[in-house]
Amino acid sequence: MTRTIAGACLCGAVSFEIVGEFHAFYLCHCSRCRKGSGSAHGANLFSATAKLSWLSGEDKVKSYHLPATRHQRDFCTDCGSGLPREVMQGAMLVVPAGSIDSAIDIRPTAHICCDSRAGWDADLETVPKIGGLPG
């Protein structure tokens, strides 16, 4: 059975649907993914077979290509949320994990580009965990 996965940006202006399965889920620690996500790493799902359909707001999707690299980031022009993108002339679908609203079964495949990991991104399992906001 083919799976349908729903997703959207933070403000809801852009929504999409993906039909198919993901074959990999990478947590990338390169400096480009850290800058683009504003976090410790990028978290992206990959598929060579899944199909992306925009349900709303496709006109609000902007692509940024870092010159002289393969790095690309697609995002909502209203809220800046990362959005799915097709790369390698459409041969690969890359989907930011945080943009997905549906429950997914795949777990991260690997941490990649760990040689570029931020110095503060080590031994995080020892940092206290808080169920909500602090204070």
pLDDT for 133 beyond 80: yes
pLDDT (0 to 100) of residue 135:
83
* 55 against 87, higher pLDDT: 55
pLDDT (0 to 100) of residue 1:
62
What's the mean per-residue pLDDT of the chain? 94
pLDDT (0 to 100) of residue 123:
85
Question: Is residue 74 a contact partner of residue 83, using CB atoms and an 8 Å limit?
Answer: yes
Helix, strand, coil % over all residues of the chain, rounded to 5? 15, 40, 50
Give me the mean pLDDT over the 114-128 stretch: 91
pLDDT (0 to 100) of residue 98:
96
Residue 95 pLDDT class (50, 70, 90 cuts): very high
Q: 3-state DSSP call for residue 67?
A: coil
pLDDT (0 to 100) of residue 124:
87
Q: Which fold has domain 4-23+43-102?
A: 2.170.150
pLDDT (0 to 100) of residue 120:
93
Encode pLDDT of 28-83 as tens digits.
999 999 999 999 999 999 999 999 999 999 999 999 999 998 889 999 999 999 99
Q: Cβ atoms within 10 A of the Cβ of 82, count? A: 23
Q: Count Cβ atoms within 10 A of the Cβ of residue 72 and give its class: 0-12 exposed, 13-18 middle, 19 or more buried.
A: middle
* 129 against 1, higher pLDDT: 129
Return d(Cα 90, Cα 65) in angstroms, integer. Answer: 15
Return d(Cα 32, Cα 11) in angstroms, integer. Answer: 24
Question: Is residue 42 a contact partner of residue 36, using CB atoms and an 8 Å limit?
Answer: yes
